[in-house]
Amino acid sequence: MYLKSFELAHTDDVVLTHAADPCPTKLASLDAIHVATAILIKVHYDELLFATHDAELAQAARAMGFRLLGSGPR
């Protein structure tokens, strides 16, 4: 079982600032917010998996060090 809990994250200035940082892969603006939010949350959850079925988002998440859950590139 992968999902032990679910928590909503708020989009604030800190998230948006991180989303504007350079990324090693091509990334759309909303996807950048998704990755930035995950980076900030990962500090609290060592075993955080990044869930997506979007290939470009999966590539960016992997480039940022996330383990993936979904059908993105392996």
> pLDDT tens digits for the chain (74 residues)?
566 777 788 899 999 999 999 989 989 999 999 999 999 999 988 888 898 999 999 999 999 999 998 865 55
pLDDT of residue 71: 66
CB 11 within 8 A of CB 34: no
- β strands within 1-74, DSSP E: 49-51, 67-69
pLDDT of residue 3: 67
DSSP label at 43? Answer: T
pLDDT of residue 69: 86
Please tell me the pTM assigned to this model. 0.83
Give the integer Cα–Cα distance in Å for 13 and 68: 26
pLDDT of residue 1: 55
